[in-house]
Amino acid sequence: MSNATRTFVLLGPLLAFIGLTYLVPFLGVMRWSVTLPEPGLGQYQAALSDPLILSVLVRTLRICTLVTLFSVLAAYAVTLIWVRGSPAQRLAIELCILIPFWISVLTRAFGWLALLSNRGILNEWLQSLGILSEPLTLVRNEFGVIVGMTHYLIPFAVFPLASAMRNLDERALMAARGMGASRARVFRNVFVPMTAAGILGAALVVFVFALGFFVTPAILGGGRSVMVAELIYLYIFQIPNWGLAAAVSVILMVAVGVLLALLMRVMRPPVPR
Amino acid sequence: MVASLDLTLSGSWKGRGLQNIKAAEIGAEGIGKRFGSFAALDDISLTIGRGEFLTLLGPSGSGKTTFLMILAGFEPATFGRLTLDGRDVTKMPAEERAFGMVFQGYALFPHMTVEQNIAFPLKVQRRSAAEVRRRVAEMVEMVGLGGHGHKRPAGLSGGQQQRVALARALAYEPPVLLLDEPFSALDKNLRGQMQDEVRRLHRETGTTFVFVTHDQSEALALSSRVAIFDHGKLQQLASPQEVYERPANRFVAEFLGDINILPLTDVAPDAAGACGRFEGGVIRAAAGAGCVSGLLAVRPEYMRLSEAAPDGNAVCARIDEVIYLGAETRLELRTRGGIALTLSVATAALPQGLRQGAEIWAGWPEEQGFFL
C-alpha cells in the first residue's frame, strides 16, 4: 500500500463523517439563504441593511473581542503559575481549571446569576455593609455576558499557552538574565515574544468559540444583549424566517473563515532563507 | 569558506585596540554546594586571573557546571565566598553580575534576527542607538557572519548559531565570559574551527574566559590553566602541560588520556629520584615524589619500541593488537606478568614486521616516568 493510499484509508472515515454531518448541512443552509422564500440574494441584502441585525453583529464582534482579550490575559497569568510555579501552586491551578470544566455551561451561567443579579449574593453583601444603597446592575447586560463568557473560555486559552510555555528554551531566559536584563525585561522582551504563537493560538480558539456562544449570552444577557447565535435562533424558532437566519449564519461563517485565514498568515513561521 | 573568512577577519581585526580593559579577576573561597545531603561541590578555592582562559574539566556530575552556575549567579552557593576584583559578589544576582554566557544549545532568541540578538545586551545597557549599530556591525564581522545579519537563528547552521551566541555574549564587553560546553553539539571538524575561533576571540578581546567541557583535548588546546573536577572536588589546577605531564593523582592522570601504570616493588628514593623493580628489571624515575605508592605512570607516546633490550628503563612485552589510526599506530601490549600497556607510535616511525604475538621491548626516558 503506498503512502498516499494509507493516508487516505486512515483519514477516510473522518472525512466522510465531517462531510456528512458538517459540510452537507452547511451546504443546505447556504441553499436556504439563496432560495427562501424566493431565489436570489434578497436575504443577504435584507440582513446587511437591517439596523437590528447589523447592531447584533457589531455587538457580537465587540463582546467577542473583549472576551478574547480578558480570557487570554487571565489565562496567561494562570498558565504562568501553572507551568512555572511551585508544586502546591500547580495543584491549586489544576483544580481551578479542571473543576469548572466538569460543570455544564448552563449551571455556570445560573451560578453567575445567583452571584451577580440585583438581589444576588454580591449586591446583598455590598448593601448590607452599607457600601451601596442601590444594587449595581451586573447581569442582564453586556457586562454580565462578558464575565460569564470569559470565565467559561479561560481554560480553552490555558492549553495552547501552556504548550508554548513548556516548549520554551529555558537557557534563552538564563542568557538574557546573564547579560544583565532585569526580570521584567526578560519577561517583556524574551518570554512573551517567545510564547507569541501560543498567544495567537489561544486568542483564535477563544474568539471562534465566543462567536458561536448561545447559552451564556441568553441567560446573562437576559434578552437585552443579544448575540448573533441567539439572533439566528430567534429567526428560526420564533419569527420564523429561515432564509434570513441562513443568510446571517453564512455571514458568521464567512467572518470566521476570513479571520482564520488572516491569523494563519500572521502565525506562519518566518521562512528561513 | 568559513575557514577563509576567519583568516581575513582575524587579520583585519588585530591591533584595533579593542582589548577589554574591564577583564575581571574572580576569587572563590571555600565554595560548596549541597542538594539535600548530596555535596555537589566541596570546598572549592581558586583565583581566576584577569584575562585568563580557565577551563573547568571533568566527567559529567563532577560539579564543573554547578561551579559555573554559581559563578554566573544562577545557583546560590551553600558555603563560601565569591569575589569579583576583590569585591564580595556572593549574593549578587546574575543580572547584576552581567557576565556573558554561551550555552550548549546556543540559547539564541528565536524571534529576533542575528543583529537584534547581538543588540539585546547593548540595549539592556542603554547604549546610544548609534553605538548599538556600530558595535553590532563590528561583532557580526568579527565572528564572520557578514551578510547573515537579517536572518533569524532558525535559518542558520549550528556553527553559525554558536557564532551569534559568542558575538552576543561579547558585544557588551563583559568582564567575564562563561561558556558551558558550547561545542558539544557540533561535529568534530566544526568543533575544531570553533575552538580556533574562541582562542582568537579570547586573544582579541582580552576578557576573562571560563570554559566548561568534558573533552580533555579541548581543555588542553584552549586554556591557559585547567581546573580538573571529580566528585565535587577540585583535583588539580595547573597549566595544560603540567596537568598532563605531572598529574596530581591517578584520577587526573587517567582522565587526561591513556596512561600506562606499572606497579613497582622495592621502591626507594635515591640521589637522582627513585628506583624500583618491575618483573625482574630495575626501573628508574627522575622524580621521586609520591614513590611510596610504587605506581609508576608513563604516557603511551613516550614509550619507544625496540627488538632487543635497550639501555635504561624498559619492559619486555608481547604484542596483543596493532591498531592502525592513520598518522599514528596504537599498540596494545601485555607484559610477562600480565600488565596491559598501550603505546602510541607515529606510523612513519613504526618498525617493520610487527606481528601479533611477537615479543618486544618498550622503553622510555627516566624523566617521563612519574609516581602517582
Query: What strand order describes the sheet that includes B38-48?
Result: B38-48, B26-35, B79-84, B87-88
* B291 — pLDDT class (breaks 50, 70, 90): low
Q: What share of chain B is helix, strand, coil (3-state, %, to 5)?
A: 30, 35, 35
Q: Do A179 and B110 touch (CB under 8 A)?
A: no
Q: Is B121 on the interface with A (CB under 8 A)?
A: yes
Average confidence (pLDDT) over B237-249: 91
**Interacting residues of B355 by C-beta distance below 8 A, sequence separation 6+:** B319
> What's the gap between Cα B236 and its chain centre?
12
Residue B271 has a pLDDT of 75
**Which of B102, B111, B157, B210 to probe the A interface (max A CBs under 10 A)?**
B111
What domains appear along chain A, each with residue ranges and CATH number?
50-267 (1.10.3720.10)
> Would you say residue B173 has pLDDT above 70?
yes
Q: Do B95 and A270 touch (CB under 8 A)?
A: no
Among partner residues B100, B103, B108, which is closest to A179 by beta-carbon distance? B100
CB B276 within 8 A of CB B313: no
Q: pLDDT digits over A158-213, tens only?
A: 999 999 999 898 899 999 998 889 999 999 999 999 999 899 889 988 998 898 88
Taking chain B, what is the end-to-end CA distance rounded to the nearest angstrom?
46
Q: Is B94 on the interface with A (CB under 8 A)?
A: yes
Q: Do B107 and A190 touch (CB under 8 A)?
A: no
Residue B19 has a pLDDT of 47
Q: pLDDT digits over A2-42, tens only?
A: 788 888 888 889 999 998 998 999 999 999 999 988 888 88
Q: pLDDT digits over B106-165, tens only?
A: 899 999 999 999 999 999 999 999 999 999 999 998 888 988 999 999 999 988 999 999
Q: Which three cell numbers stand for residue B238?
A: 595547573
Give burial (CB, 10 Å; 0-12/13-18/19+) of A150. buried
A171: chain B residues, CB-CB within 8 Å: 103, 105, 107
Amino acid identity, position B52: E
Report which DSSP code applies to A22.
I
> Would you say residue A90 has pLDDT above 80?
yes
Q: Do A171 and B103 touch (CB under 8 A)?
A: yes
CB B333 within 8 A of CB B317: yes
Among partner residues A174, A177, A190, which is closest to B109 by beta-carbon distance? A190
What is the distance in angstroms between the Cα of B265 and the nearest Cα belonging to chain A? 53
What is the distance in angstroms between the Cα of A186 and the nearest Cα belonging to chain B? 10
Q: Is B166 on the interface with A (CB under 8 A)?
A: no
Among partner residues B101, B172, B174, which is closest to A175 by beta-carbon distance? B101
B149: chain A residues, CB-CB within 8 Å: none
Among partner residues A175, A183, A272, which is closest to B152 by beta-carbon distance? A272
Among partner residues A180, A269, A272, which is closest to B124 by beta-carbon distance? A180
Q: Which residue of A has its CA nearest to B117?
A: A176
A182: chain B residues, CB-CB within 8 Å: 95
Q: Do B178 and A189 touch (CB under 8 A)?
A: no
Q: Do A270 and B120 touch (CB under 8 A)?
A: no
ipTM for the whole complex: 0.76
Q: Of B113, B121, B106, whose CA–CA distance to A179 is shortest?
A: B121
Residue A207 has a pLDDT of 92
Report residue A225: phi and psi, to 5°.
-125, 65
Q: Which residue of B has its CA nearest to A176?
A: B121
Average confidence (pLDDT) over B20-27: 78
Q: Do A179 and B109 touch (CB under 8 A)?
A: no
**Which of A179, A199, A273 to probe the B interface (max B CBs under 10 A)?**
A179
Q: Is B135 on the interface with A (CB under 8 A)?
A: no
